[in-house]
Structure 1
Amino acid sequence: MAPTVRESVREFCRAAGMTIVFGNPGSTEVRMFRDWPEDFRYVLGLQESTAVAMAAGHALGTGRAALVSLHSAVGVGHALGSVFNAFRDRVPLVLVAGQQSRSLLPTRPFLGADDPARFPEPYVKYTRQPERAADVPAAFAEAHRLAMAHPRGPVFLSVPEDDWDRPARPVAPRTVHSGHTADPEALAELARALDASARPALVVGPGVDDEGAYHEVAELAERTRAAVWISPLSGRSGFDERHPLFQGFLPPVPDRLSGTLAPYDLVLALGAPLFTYHLASGDPDAPPLPEGTALHHLDCDPAQAAWLPVGTSLVTTLRPAVRALNGQVRKADRAAPPPRPAPPAARAGDTASAELLLDLLRERLPDGAVLVEEAPSHREILHARLPLSGPGRFLTTGSGGLGWGLPLAIGRALAERDAPPGPEGAARVVCLLGDGSALYAVQALWTAVRHRAPVTFVLLDNGGYSAVRGLGARIGVPEVPGTAIGGIDFAALAASFGCPGRSVERAVELPGALDRALGLGPDEGPALLHVPVLADDTPPYGTGGE
């Protein structure tokens, strides 16, 4: 007998390394799970957005596309916030949504999706509901190849539920070497511009970490003695933040970003959406960079190169391009920029502050640990007080959608646990959360417990959406409704899902509590440390210029 769609798709998934399925099952997916094979694992998320975020964490940890099963129209709708984050952060995901039986589609059936291929647009690279059941395996293979091609990202397939039992020939796996290298003469011209520059700066974006160009970029910085900044609101850290050339994170405010880059005559942005703004500020008609600052931009995404308002863009994958630059740029003898100053040590009061917690975490964060962050109120002081080094060690949302960090950390921890152990064993993932962020996806703790994910959650509770209150103060709205949260026992809430939780009310207890929470072994599963901190509604990104 000819194999079924289900059998042919599973055969392809084995070849592609996608034998873990993240999802939340519904009636239109049941036939997909018939005769569930022993070599496949299902990771249940209690809501579709958390399933997508966990899959994203796993994909970032393994470097392979992750497979997500979504339920028809409603499940896709629930998932779209995380799909948006995955698209902006270039995370390769294969999203497969159930659809009602083909014979019922003309009658607009219960749980049927109208025009399903358009539903997740524009935040997927590829979207399709195949015309015939026999076309499903080939569409699956095409979607996977596009998900993994640079710039990587999520892809979407809608599969009518009766397709899984119908015959379809298997699709032979094949290799597609994606990517492109900039024109050699264009790279040579850039090398000459770097040699001639008096005050160069590199802006490192998430593409450096995503494309594995961390070490090549470090060599380029040292050869040119350039000041190094990380792009505004980057979801990754692609440069050693303890390096003497590192200057900090660029502000996502037009006049402040322009002013920060004003001292440099040449700025080279690497895998960076340089002009990522969060707030309008200054003269809206002012140029994005000051006169006398030339911009060069390397990125694998032609769309990114197309919308930049100024500068010269080279569409290229980063690692071969930066390697070529390192072979052409002269070793500079210009003076290196002064290192950025360290903030003063936080003072310990009776109640813990975010500054104190981050100082303590800096002293205790294990070597090789991965830090996942979703604490918008504290992001600026985190970058100032907790410098990180090493590729792949920092993950956050580069697009601002809350509810991403907690499940992302779980998926990243599962990838860490499943990877071949290093000389010191699997590293524990540390997830730094705000109270508001945690409540978007707290049910993901259940999944962390069931799969014994090696992740420690450190939850900073400032009693509400302090980042929103700070933005209100910045633009003259001192009272923003709906920003107060209180009365939640996060330790008890974690325990109700089976995750050990502890609240630390006094600053003097914090060092010991952190030692215990961070000292758990990779086989001891998740833990949550709830730390009430002093509220701080200071406007973000500085003040002035409005």
Structure 2
Amino acid sequence: MTEKSTPAGNTPVVWGSDVIAETIRALGYRFIALVPGSSFRGLHDSLVNHLGNHDPSMVVCLHEEHAVSIADGFSRVAQEPMAVALHANVGVMHASMTIFNAWCDRRPMLIIGATGPVDARKRRPWIDWIHTSKDQGALIRNFIKWDDQPTSPEAAIEAVLRADQITRTAPAGPVYVCLEVEMQETALDRTVKVPDIRRFNIPEAPAAPADTLKKVVNALREAKSPVLLFGRGSRESAAWQNRVALAEALGATVMTTLHNAACFPTEHPLHHLPPVGERPDAAESALLRQADLIVSFDWHDLAGFLSARFGEMQTQTPAPTHIVHCSVDGFAANGWSMDHQAFPAADIRVLADPDSLVRQLLAEIRAQKDWTPVTRKATGHWADTAPAGPDAGLPFNSEQLAFTLSAFSRGKDVTFARLPFGWPRIASRFTTPLDFLGKDGGGAVGTGTGHTVGAALALQGSSRLTIGVIGDGDYLMGVNALWTASHMKIPMMMVVANNRSYYNDEVHQERMARQRGRPVENKGIGQKLNDPAPDIVGLALCQGFEAGETVGSAEELQRALEKGAAAVAAGGRYIIDALIIPGYSDK
């Protein structure tokens, strides 16, 4: 729920920050997530008293990290950037981890920052000095697409227009515009106009050149056992349907990954292995070794994926299979971060948007009347033998939690904003582009709650039930993001897979102990979250959520999910603390 201002805006343009606020509105930003700060108090006033706190509406947060995570989660659904405002250098430093995470996720985001007076004689003692930096953008420049620090309203308008175009252009990524405080707070003595933003719109996504497209079509025509790797892709229904149509026209096997959001129906007959997880699987390796053509549509870490399945480092002994790799992600590489992953070998490189290539290939194939899909030897489908639900006779661990959630979501409009470590691949039954929104690309901790709040905000008013399933460590670091959901009355549910440990690091310590011949029994020292055990439910209640008792079985979880779904359907917010036995699934 948006807080209403009095008066409700539409005041004359008087201040430098007024035209900046108008530019943000003209570009179509619906929300701006923020923790208030004096460095952008001018812009804050313009958003409230000039624009009336709508378009964009303020999403008030308790920490700058959450503001960025909420914007990240919002863009995963809305496929448009949210604006974020950060207070001076301290706000940027607070938010830097989640900015890096959004960068690795290739999420669009317009970040507005601010600095104290550039002119030293205008700085207030102490506070303006510590909130002023000569090059504030340097704090995050290595993991954003672009930044600027304009010093006039005209330059600020241009900076915001450019930033918006850059953040929305593939490969997407956060951008940063730092507003000098004096520029925001100076009364205008001249007319400063926001131009027609249609003259500054983003370019169309790049498509494959004709010659390259012909090479890919010829490779597909000659292939007898093609495999399509669908990685990053649009949430648009048309793009989803095109991927399905292309796979069916080719008769090609499809693989997807739990690293990225759902981009193909996992129970489709051509997707006859479950989505790829963190570790290589023998069936995946066998399938890829039998393929005579692999087509990667912006597959995350193609070289690493193939190295693990073929058993050879791809830069030394590339996979013997003919490979087509379509991506524009190379434009994001800058050498500071290794998020670009290992360098994949490819026989045909396509510098194009992957959904554009799918659309082009589908048109070419449909135009060739003699095209016949390849026939593959019938094999069993993974979903035929996957559990339909939990087994009451087994201990309540990450697998049983996942099978309970999977069974609960069947036939319902459920969006899993996040899924935790230990989620079994065979519990991944996704039938629409909004069923699963992907992992956190930067491997961060504390982002799951914010991502879920942002996704639920984008889905507010729809029929979908937004559920974030995260570990207890992720939850405890990000729990205050839940307050924003309560404050804005955003319906959503959180399920905490609570093993009372930083369990992923227990696994690492066990590996170290075995490697060094030391006691494995010590792996939990410095890892356990007990004595006292954090009050998962109590922390959510403090943020305005509803909750029941901690659950310790699949049956109890099922009842809690039904109760939570009813609460969310009534416009509420619900938390479930699922106390599970530590361990990860190998399924």
State the TM-score, normalized to the length of structure 1: 0.89
Equivalent positions of 1:34-49 (< 5 A) are 34-35=45-46, 36=48, 37-40=51-54, 41-49=57-65
2:223 — aligned with what?
Answer: 197
Partner residue in 2 for 1:82: 98
Read off the aligned partner of 1:321 and give its amino acid letter: L
Which structure 2 segments of 5+ residues have no match? 1-11, 334-339, 366-370
Which residue is 1:309 aligned to?
Answer: 344
Contact 1:269 1:295 in 2 (8 A): yes
> 1:51-86: per-residue Cα shift (whole Å, max 9, x none)?
111112222222221100001111111111111121
Q: Evaluate the alpha carbon distance shift between residue 288 and residue 464 of structure 1 in structure 2; reply closer, same or farther with a 3 A threshold.
A: farther
Matches of 1:431 and 1:5 in 2, distance apart? Answer: 40
Query: 1:64/1:54 Cα in 2 relative to 1: closer, same or farther (>3 Å)?
Result: same
Out of 146, 157, 160, the residue aligned to residue 140 of structure 1 is: 160
Say yes or no: does 1:447 pair with 2:484. Answer: yes
Structure 1's 126 and 541: CA in aligned 2 closer, same or farther, altered over 3 A? farther
What residue is the counterpart of 2:267 in the other structure? 242
Q: Secondary structure at the match of 2:130?
A: coil
Partner residue of 1:501?
Answer: 547
In the alignment, is the contact (CA less than 8 A) between 1:427 and 1:522 conserved in 2? no
The equivalent position to 2:120 in structure 1, one of 93, 104, 124, is: 104
Please list the CA deviations of residues 317-343 of structure 1 after superposition, one character each: whole Å capped at 9, or x if unmatched.
233321221133323141166222533
Alpha-carbon spacing, 1:143–1:334, altered in 2? closer, same or farther (3 Å): same
2:582 match: 535
CA distance in 2, matches of 1:154, 1:18: 15
Which runs of 5 or more structure 1 residues have no equivalent in the other structure?
A: none
Are the equivalent residues in 2 in contact too, given 1:211–1:318 (CA < 8 A)? no
Equivalent of 1:128, from 136, 141, 148?
Answer: 148
Q: Which residue, out of 262, 276, 289, partners 2:289?
A: 262
1:509 shift after superposition: 2.3
Distance change in 2, residues 1:484/1:141 (3 Å): same
In the alignment, does 2:352 pair up with 1:332? no
Distance in 1 between the 2:505 and 2:175 partners? 32
- Once the two structures are TM-superposed, the CA of residue 531 in structure 1 deviates from its matched residue by 0.8
Change (3 A) 1:291 1:161: closer
On the 8 A contact 1:375/1:437 being kept in 2, the answer is no
Match of 2:355 in 1: 319
* Counterpart residue number, 2:557: 510
**Structure 1 residues 396-411: aligned runs within 5 Å:** 396-411=439-454
Which residue does the alignment assign to 1:67? Answer: 83
For each residue in 1:85-144, what CA deviation from the matched residue of structure 2 results, as whole angstroms up to 9, or x when unmatched? 211212111001121112239988122234112211221111111244431111011101
> Is residue 20–residue 153 contact of structure 2 (8 Å, CA) maintained in 1?
no
**In 1, Cα distance between the equivalents of 2:38 and 2:453?**
26
Q: Which residue of 1 aligns with 2:195?
A: 171
Query: CA–CA distance in 1 between the matches of 2:37 and 2:494?
Result: 30
Amino acid at match of 2:216: L
Q: Note if contact 1:179-1:300 (Cα within 8 Å) is conserved in structure 2.
A: no
Report the counterpart of residue 245 of structure 2 in structure 1. Answer: 219
Aligned length: 530
Question: What is the letter of the counterpart of residue 524 of structure 1?
Answer: G
Distance 1:70 1:230 in 2: 36
Is the deviation greater in 124-133 or in 466-475? Answer: 466-475
Deviation by residue 1:357-388 (Cα, 9 ceiling, x = unmatched): 22222222153221112422x23x1x221311
Backbone CA RMSD of aligned residues: 3.0
- Distance, in Å, in 2 between the alignment partners of 1:38 and 1:429 is 29
Give the CA deviation at 1:521. Answer: 4.1
Please state how far the C-alpha of 1:155 moved relative to its aligned partner.
Answer: 0.4
Deviation at 1:266, TM superposition (A): 0.9
Letter in 1 for 2:262: S
Secondary structure (helix, strand or coil) at the match of 2:326 reads strand
Write the letter of the residue equivalent to 1:332. Answer: P
C-alpha distance after superposition, 1:135-154 (max 9, x if no partner): 11110111011111111221
1:489 and 2:522 are equivalent in the alignment: no
Residue 36 (structure 2) aligns with? 25
Give 3-state SS (helix, strand or coil) of 2:248's partner.
Answer: helix
Range that drifts further, 276-285 or 127-136: 276-285
Which stretch of the first structure deviates more once superposed, 102-111 or 483-492? 102-111
Percentage of matched positions with identical amino acids: 22
3-state SS, counterpart of residue 192 of structure 1: helix
Structure 1 partner of 2:412: 367
Q: Distance in 1 between matches of 2:558 and 2:574?
A: 16
Take 1:512 and 1:191, find their aligned partners in 2: how far apart are those partners?
51
Instruction: Choose which of 431, 435, 444 in structure 2 pairs with 1:389.
Output: 431
Distance 1:60 1:2, change over 3 A: same
Per the TM alignment, residue 454 of structure 1 is displaced from its structure 2 partner at its CA by: 1.3
In structure 2, distance between residues paired with 1:279 and 1:70:
40
> How far has the Cα of 1:505 moved from its partner?
3.1
1:13 maps to 2:24? yes
Assess if the C-alpha contact under 8 Å between 1:494 and 1:528 holds in 2. Answer: yes
User: 2:110 matched to which residue of 1?
Assistant: 94
Cα distance, 1:287 vs. partner? 5.0
Answer yes or no: is the 8 Å Cα contact 2:493–2:568 preserved in 1: no
Distance (whole Å) between structure 1 residues aligned to residue 524 and residue 501 of structure 2: 11
Give the SS at the match of 1:122. helix
Matched, 1:437 2:474: yes
Moved more, 106-115 or 143-152: 106-115
Distance (Å, rounded) in 2 between the aligned partners of 1:304 and 1:298: 15
Q: Name the CA distance, whole Å, in 1 between partners of 2:432 and 2:35.
A: 34
Pick aligned residue for 1:417 from 442, 446, 460: 460
Q: Partners of 2:507 and 2:36 in 1: how far apart? A: 40
> Is the contact made by 1:220 and 1:322 (CA closer than 8 Å) also made in structure 2?
yes
Alignment of 1:355 onto 2:371: no
Alignment-derived partner of residue 73 in structure 2: 57
Aligned counterpart in structure 1 of residue 386 of structure 2, from 343, 355, 365:
343
Q: 1:262 to 1:471 in 2, by over 3 A?
A: farther
CA distance in 2, matches of 1:258, 1:252: 14
Query: C-alpha displacement at 1:488, in angstroms?
Result: 1.4
Helix, strand or coil at the partner of 1:127: strand
Shift of 1:351: 5.7
The CA deviation string for residues 220-248 of structure 1, in whole angstroms up to 9 with x for no partner, is 111122221124x5231211111121123
SS at match of 2:372: coil
Partners of 2:332 and 2:44 in 1: CA distance:
39
Distance 1:218 1:351, change over 3 A: same
| Structure 1 position 407, deviation (Å) | 0.8
Q: Quick one: distance in 1 between partners of 2:312 and 2:151?
A: 48
Give, in whole Å, the separation in 2 of the partners of 1:398 and 1:331.
Answer: 38
> Residues 279 and 77 of structure 1: is their aligned pair in 2 closer, same or farther, counting only changes over 3 Å?
farther
Residue pair 1:125, 1:154 contacting (<8 A) in 2 also: yes
**1:392 Cα deviation after fit:** 2.8
Retained in 1: the 8 A contact 2:108–2:168? yes
